[in-house]
Chains A and B, each alone.
Chain A
Amino acid sequence: AQKITQTQPGMFVQEKEAVTLDCTYDTSDQSYGLFWYKQPSSGEMIFLIYQGSYDEQNATEGRYSLNFQKARKSANLVISASQLGDSAMYFCAMREGWGGGFKTIFGAGTRLFVKA
C-alpha cells in the first residue's frame, strides 16, 4: 500500500493566488514526521517545511504552511501569494518513528505551474 499519496500530478495557479497541494499518508506509528520538498527544473531538492506528529500547531515557513489534519492523515502544503519561481515539482515525505534509521518515504510528487 502507498505510504504517501499525492493525488494531483499537476496543478495550475495564477500568480499571486494561494494554492494547496494535497498529501495523505498512512502509518501506524504514533511518532512520525512530515516534510515537503521543492524540486525546480534544475533538479536540486529544497527542504520547505517540517511537521512533527506531536506538534499541535501547523508549521509555517514564510509563504509556506502545512495544513496538518492528524485524524484524516493529511498534510497539505499551502503556498500563499504564488510567484513564478514557485513553478516546480513538490514532494511530500514522511519519516516513521524515531528509530530504525530515520528512513523517509516520498510521494510521487505534484508539478505546480504558476501562470503570469
Chain B
Amino acid sequence: DADVTQTPRNRITKTGKRIMLECSQTKGHDRMYWYRQDPGLGLRLIYYSFDVKDINKGEISDGYSVSRQAQAKFSLSLESAIPNQTALYFCATRDHSGGRDTQYFGPGTRLTVL
C-alpha cells in the first residue's frame, strides 16, 4: 500500500464550487505539506503543518484553506474554485529524523476548474 495517498486522483469541477482534496499518510510523520504544480513553474507551497495544532501558510495560500484532522490526515479546500486553480496538487510528508531530510509525495490530484 502507498504511504501517502490522495483522493480524488482526478476532479473536474465548475467555477464557484467548493472542492476538498484529501491526503492520508501511514508514515507517522508530523510534517505535512500541500503543493501545486503548474507547467514551467515547478512546485509551489500552499500550506504546511507541523502537527494537528500548527498550520502555516505557504507562498500561494490565497483561495485555499486546510484542515489537519489528525496526524495522518491533511485536507486542502478550495472554497470557491476558479479556473486558474487548475493544476496538479501534491500532498507530501517529511522525514527529518536521524540527519535525513526526505519528502514523500502522494500520487497527485489533477484538478480542472471549468
Contacts and interface: CB of A to CB of B under 8 A. Distances in A.
Contacts of A52: 99, 101
A101 B48 contact: yes
Contacts, number: 58
Interface residues of B, number: 28
A103 B88 contact: no
Interface in B34-66: 35, 40-45, 48, 50, 56, 58
A106 interface: yes
Interface string A80-116: 0000000000010101000001111111110000000
B103 A106 contact: no
B96 A102 contact: yes
Nearest to B105: A45
A47 B100 CA distance: 12
B101 A43 contact: no
A50 interface: yes
Given A43-B88, A45-B90, A103 B45 contact: yes
